[in-house]
Amino acid sequence: MSVRPADTPTSHTGGVQRLLASYRNIPVDASVRLAKPTSNLFRARRKRQAPGLDTSGLVRVLAVDPQNRTADVEGMCTYEDVIAATLPYGLTPLVVPQLKTITVGGAVSGLGIESASFRNGLPHESVLEMDVLTGSGDLLTVSRDQHEDLFHAFPNSYGTLGYATRLRIELEDVKPFVALRHIRFNSLSELVATMDRIIDTGGFEGVPVDYLDGVVFSPRESYLCVGIATDSPGAVSDYTGQRIYYRSIRHPHGIKDDRLTIHDYLWRWDTDWFWCSRAFGAQRPLVRRWWPRRYRRSSVYSKLIAYDRRFAIADRIEKRNHRPPRERVVQDVEVPLEHCREFLDWFFANVPIEPVWLCPLRLRGDEEWPLYPIRSNHTYVNIGFWSSVPAGAIEGATNRLIESKVSELDGHKSLYSDAYYTPGEFDELYGGATYRMLKKTYDPDSRLLDLYAKAVRRQ
């Protein structure tokens, strides 16, 4: 096993001790939550009234084991740091979420996805074991053999059953380059049918496919982005400068080929936060030329969003220009593949947002993950859309419509953003009975927030 010199067991022990000390210092009548300056959540939250858990000592990669293809990482370690540690060995996690500052603990407790998910499932499926601080203050090692009920309910619990301090995750071999084929479709039916064939056969035009996602600009212009891992050297594109990745996908017809290093492929969406950097002018050539490269990343844009939310800048601009306020529609939903076309048709007819991201997924195995109960041996498509629309008379009107349509199509949505479900709807979708049983076992005094209170009531 290879261990980075700065990341010794002693330093990890010290980080855990600081975490436990901060837990003990939180008043017994105050909710326990993380003390962290940044977040990839998009729910509006009330101001924190009590000090939070000190996770500042739990941000490292502890060890990489290239022989067994595993890594031990601390819960607040970002995927950017994980990739920096594993890629020199020609290894990466089985699923690397799109944004650099997503943490491993966050992707497991709050779900994550990427273009390897059609073959590797979701990040929590490749976790071998975790150390979890529960609401009762116990530090437990959980796995498929130890406290397996907590292990399987941890995904989608969003820190309401506990916080991961250490995770051992599987890694996979990767090649130094990814050859990309951007396939254009003028029909959503053809796009979905081609996606289905690729997933079913594992290949495209007789060549194995390693990565698969897509972008829909309109019902008449959509693309599948097929990634093929390769050792063959050759010229590569760079989308960290003036060129913009999502714009490179577009072309009039047929297939457009491209090529990236594996490092740049993994972070291809981060530079412009998919396409959301356009809201800050970062895609305008003159602005982009003067925008420092190191600040072209999702973490900077999310800070700008937080600043806007704090001071209501966008709402003030809309009001000054005699326009109605805006409703934020920032969501990722999963619908079964057979309903993907129906949802997209409905979405483009009812929601004025474009483009949207597509990412197919299949669970790796037959395990049940009760707080996000999607079927095994079945293909789903994650559909992501991140923008705003004119606000209606009812708070969250468009988000409510989307929730209703997703449920009608036997789908789910991620809980990182605004949600409006009733308690009964939420229980049915997110394993309410199982959750309450585990809450009594691992957080009997309700020191941690309730999942519904956190996800819907925004506490």
Q: What is the pLDDT of residues 215-230, one digit of tens each?
A: 999 999 999 999 999 9
* Helix intervals (H) in 50-110: 79-86, 104-110
Tens of pLDDT along 338-347?
Answer: 999 999 999 9
pLDDT at 266 exceeding the cut of 70: yes
∠ Cα 225 108 351 (to 5°): 50
DSSP letters spanning 115-143: TTHHHH--GGGGEEEEEEEETTS-EEEEE
How confident is the model over 118-147, as a mean pLDDT?
97
Closest by Cα among 370, 369, 366, 373 to 433: 370
CB 188 within 8 A of CB 345: yes
With a cut of 70, say whether residue 4 has pLDDT above it: no
pLDDT for position 189: 98
Q: The pTM is what?
A: 0.93
The percent of residues above 70 in pLDDT, for the chain, comes to: 93
pLDDT of residue 44: 57
CB 365 within 8 A of CB 125: yes
190's tokens: 């053809």
**Phi, psi angles (nearest 5°) of residue 255:** -125, 135
pLDDT at 37 over 90: no
Euclidean distance between CA atoms 185 and 166, whole angstroms: 44
User: Rounded to the nearest 5°, which phi and psi values hold at 139?
Assistant: -105, 110
**What φ, ψ does residue 300 adopt, rounded to 5°?**
-70, -45
Determine contact, residues 217/250, Cβ cutoff 8 Å: yes
Structural domains of the chain ordered from first start = 9-174 (3.30.465.10), 177-268 (3.30.70)
Structure tokens of 335?
Answer: 């619908």
Rounded Cα distance between 212 and 200, Å, is: 13
Average pLDDT over residues 48-77: 91
> β-strand 356-361 against 412-413: which pairing, if any?
unpaired
Alpha-helical segments (H) within 312-456: 313-320, 340-350, 397-408, 423-429, 432-442, 451-455
| pLDDT tens readout for residues 413-450 | 999 999 999 999 999 999 999 999 999 999 999 999 99
Mean pLDDT, rounded, for 73-101: 97
State the pLDDT at residue 324: 79
Are 99 and 273 in contact by the 8 Å Cβ rule? The answer is yes
When pLDDT is cut at 50, 70 and 90, the band that residue 201 belongs to is very high
CB proximity list for 96: less than 8 A, separation 6 or greater: 79, 82, 83, 114, 116, 266
Would the pLDDT of 27 be above 50?
Answer: yes
* Average pLDDT of the residues in 65-76: 98
Contact present, 305 and 135 (Cβ < 8 Å): no
